[in-house]
Amino acid sequence: MKIVECVPNFSEGRDREIINRISESIRSVAGVELLDVDTGYDTNRTVFTFAGEPGAVFSAAFNAIKEGSGLIDMSVHTGAHPRMGACDVCPFIPVTGISMEECIELALALGEKVGAELNIPVYLYENAAKSPERKNLAKIRSGGYEALEEKLKRPEWKPDFGPSAYNERVKRSGATVIGARRFLIAYNININSKDKRPASRIAGEIRERGETVKDENGKTVRIPGKLKQCKAIGWYVDDYKRAQVSVNLTDYRITGMHHAFEAAVEAADGAGVRITGSEIVGLVPKQALIDAGLYYIKKQRGSTACSEKEIIETAAASLGLDEVATFDPHEKIIEYRIRGFSGAQVEGQIIRPD
């Protein structure tokens, strides 16, 4: 059986009716399971995670974009998270029995359909990008929704699909970025301060692109960050009354949650703050927690001859995953959420749900 995951991010985290209507547009498609709906009030953003067979997931993704873009008005949207559209980004991720090439085909087909039928500018990113300049989501989204009108006037930013004119429809919907990628772990690291400045400093030290500073001659120079396949920014979350380092791990096989957490602990000392815990946004591959658990067991000089449950519990305790929200492995690990699988392959790892 071919199973693909889709994780569209919508620029709405406060209006429960809109969030519910997008959820129902996904649930209405047979063969799709809505696995997680993660809302953020301060970011004003909701991440929907669903999975199923490719055709069903394609239909659910289009339904969600159609519903969300009809309900969300970007001209009045505010929020802490970078964004440039009602459906800001919509990636396809291979889970089992499906190749990255097939996910790219889904992204291209969805982009064409959204552009033609919904009249929304669409940019392709990551593995579906048609040029290296558009591979990076942050580069496409640079300037956010507020820069979109001017961006559309520039030939180098002509959308891959859909209109290139900034009309009333585009003013309301913004633009959508669609692509195909490997698992991305959205992971927030908490600090013991309400001030986002130390969180931003930590983010600059650990993310791959690093940070820009002035040298002794006043010239701007870039200092590379510590971690590959890591993106990060600092922000304040009023719900938690604290700042966080918001991290995206674009390949957990290269940089895992434990790598990001330990690098943040080291950087926090120089910033005069402490890391108090962390949280996973959306779902996570089981292997990412296994990797973290084994890392901390070995660090404690313990035996790794223990159960999967014990390894995951060690990861959760070591990373402080229960600090700001309850961490339930059976709700947060994607393999445990997909029904009807036994011994299926996800990213080269065997899935055996408990």
11-66 tens-digit pLDDT: 999 999 999 999 999 999 999 999 989 899 989 999 999 999 999 999 999 999 99
- The SS3 call for residue 310 is helix
Q: Supply the pLDDT for residue 339.
A: 56
- The SS3 call for residue 350 is strand
Full-model pTM: 0.71
Q: Supply the pLDDT for residue 97.
A: 83
Domains of the chain: 3-180 (3.30.990.10), 185-351 (3.30.70.670)
Share of the chain above pLDDT 90, in %: 79
Whole-number Å distance between alpha carbons of 137 and 179: 9
Q: Supply the pLDDT for residue 296.
A: 97
Single-letter amino acid, residue 137: L
Whole-number Å distance between alpha carbons of 211 and 232: 11
Maximum pairwise Cα distance, the chain: 62
Whole-number Å distance between alpha carbons of 325 and 317: 13
Mean pLDDT of the chain: 92
Whole-number Å distance between alpha carbons of 49 and 185: 12
Distances (CA, A) of 354 to 103, 185, 351: 28, 22, 9
Instruction: With a cut of 90, say whether residue 9 has pLDDT above it.
Output: yes
Residue where the block lists tokens 């600059």: 204
DSSP 174: B
Residue where the block lists tokens 């919907």: 173
Whole-number Å distance between alpha carbons of 36 and 336: 12
Higher pLDDT, 340 or 306: 306
Whole-number Å distance between alpha carbons of 69 and 64: 8
The whole-number average pLDDT for the span 324-330 is: 92
Whole-number Å distance between alpha carbons of 11 and 19: 10
Catalytic residue positions? 81
